[in-house]
Amino acid sequence: MHEIGVLLEVVKSVERYALENDVKKIETLVLQIGELSSMIPKYMMKLYPAAVDGTILEGSELEIEVLSANGLCTDCKKVFRVLENHGICTVCGSKNFELLSGKEFYIKEIECY
């Protein structure tokens, strides 16, 4: 389960941001995770309290937005949702595509004061 290691790195990044910007308290941390990334949101939610224990994020809320995996059909050039359509273009039925999104992992927002 590598989610804990990733969360600990996120915590370090947010703590660095807090220190540089004289932040006293983090209320909410919003992450964006691509549905094809190796991160499993339910595990991240479960591990979050342990990852933030004893840090400026302790007591904060974690929100996760899952970003769709989108592909560009290399035959008809239309964009479609890869997982939802099992890798098959919804316009022409081709299985040939270039992945445009779905592997992202971002800190989208830090609500703090």
State the pTM of this model.
0.89
> What is 3-112's CATH number?
3.30.2320.80
| Confidence at residue 2, expressed as pLDDT on a 0 to 100 scale | 87
Determine whether the annotation assigns residue 2 to a binding site. yes
pLDDT at position 10: 98
CA atoms of 71 and 100, how far apart (whole Å): 5
pLDDT of residue 14: 98
Task: Kindly list the domain boundaries of the chain, sorted by start residue.
Answer: 3-112
pLDDT of residue 1: 61
Does residue 112 have a known ligand-binding role? no
At residue 51, what are phi and psi to the nearest 5 degrees? Answer: -70, -30
Residue-level pLDDT at 113: 87
| Residues with pLDDT less than 50, the chain | none
The reported pLDDT for the residue numbered 79 is: 98
φ, ψ of residue 109 to 5 degrees: the values are -155, 145
